[in-house]
């Protein structure tokens, strides 16, 4: 079945540590996105990528980094510069640029601080 | 794990009732809108979308209504079932130098048997 796979489902970060969240899609979509979700909040865009080897900052990119070396993969690194990383992280994809078409989501990674 | 539904507006209905979930959007220039359903611990799932050249669109047991005059969107769920219990988000397209979806905070729907 086609879809988006995020791993791990749960992740713990120590102080000063960088951690990387994985996102893989087999939908052959060009565009991919990372969102952060906090309790009682809507999704906030961290980074997006419209095509391989290109990505752009979203609304809350500080403390995060991404890469897009392959069409199917868009990993997110939460760096030690992100002082409040505890959240639910969601990866999404869409066939093209995502403003006027549905984005398809993975089942998220929950990141917590040790 | 911590629920995404903390502190959200909540709609409680009985099984079999019709549910109406409302959403006010912010940008009068938005021309595309979408509803998602999110169950606890999972990612949002697409329900239905609508473009601004329409004021109503129907799917299976769901109807989306768009009122551009007052910038209001609603999702109607017919014959609500316990499996419909979830958080429902609306989203609008918004151009901020890039075109993407901007999400509302959501409404929790609780369906009692």
pLDDT digits (tens, 9 = 90+) for A39-90: 878 899 999 999 999 999 999 999 999 999 999 999 999 999 898 999 999 9
Q: Which of residues 20-49 of B touch A (CB under 8 A)?
A: 31-32, 34, 36, 41-46, 49
Q: Is the pLDDT of residue A100 over 90?
A: no
B94, closest residue in chain A (CA to CA): A99
Answer for the pair A94, A101: CB distance below 8 angstroms, yes or no. yes
Gap from A51 CA to chain B (nearest CA, Å): 14
Q: Is the pLDDT of residue A28 over 70?
A: yes
Question: Are the Cβ atoms of B2 and A39 closer than 8 angstroms?
Answer: yes
Give the integer Cα–Cα distance in Å for B1 and B60: 31
Q: What confidence score (pLDDT) does residue B38 get?
A: 96
Furthest-apart CA pair in chain A: how many Å?
39
Average predicted confidence (pLDDT) for chain A: 93
B43, closest residue in chain A (CA to CA): A107
Q: What confidence score (pLDDT) does residue B6 get?
A: 54
Question: Are the Cβ atoms of B1 and A110 closer than 8 angstroms?
Answer: yes
The H or E element that residue A51 is part of is: strand A43-51
Q: Which residues of A touch B (CB under 8 A)?
A: 4, 6, 10, 33, 35, 37, 39-45, 48, 56, 58-59, 88, 90, 92, 97-108, 110
Instruction: Indicate the range of A90-94, A96-100, B55-59 predicted with least confidence.
Output: A96-100
Which residues touch A80 (CB under 8 Å, ≥6 apart)?
A: A15, A16, A17, A18
Q: What confidence score (pLDDT) does residue B19 get?
A: 97
Q: Which of these, B57, B39, A60, lies nearest to B48 by C-alpha position? A: B57
Each residue's pLDDT, cut to its tens digit, for chain B (113 residues) gives: 344 445 689 999 999 999 999 999 988 888 899 999 999 999 999 999 999 999 999 999 999 999 999 999 999 999 999 999 999 999 998 766 666 888 998 999 999 99
Contact list in A for residue B42 (CB cut-off 8 A) is: 107-108
Q: What confidence score (pLDDT) does residue B101 get?
A: 87
């Amino acid at each position: 079945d086609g879809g988006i796979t995020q791993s791990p489902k749960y992740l713990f970060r120590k102080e000063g540590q960088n951690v990387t969240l994985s996102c893989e899609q087999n939908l052959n979509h060009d565009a991919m996105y990372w969102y952060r979700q906090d309790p009682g909040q809507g999704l906030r865009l961290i980074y997006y990528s419209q095509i391989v080897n290109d990505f752009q900052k979203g609304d809350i990119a500080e403390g995060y980094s991404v890469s897009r070396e392959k069409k199917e993969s868009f990993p997110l690194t939460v760096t030690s510069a992100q002082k409040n990383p505890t959240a639910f992280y969601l990866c999404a994809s869409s066939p093209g640029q995502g403003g006027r078409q549905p984005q398809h989501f993975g089942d998220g990674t929950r990141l917590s601080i040790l | 794990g911590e629920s995404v539904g903390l502190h959200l507006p909540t709609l409680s209905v009985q099984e079999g009732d019709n549910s109406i979930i409302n959403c006010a959007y912010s940008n009068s220039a938005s021309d595309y809108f979408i509803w998602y359903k999110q169950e606890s611990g999972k990612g949002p799932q697409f329900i239905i979308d609508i473009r601004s050249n329409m004021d109503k669109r129907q799917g299976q047991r769901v109807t989306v209504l768009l009122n551009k005059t007052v910038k209001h969107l609603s999702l109607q769920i017919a014959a609500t079932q316990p499996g419909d219990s979830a958080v429902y988000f609306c989203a609008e397209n918004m151009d901020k130098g890039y075109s993407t979806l901007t999400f509302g905070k959501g409404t929790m729907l609780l369906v009692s048997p």
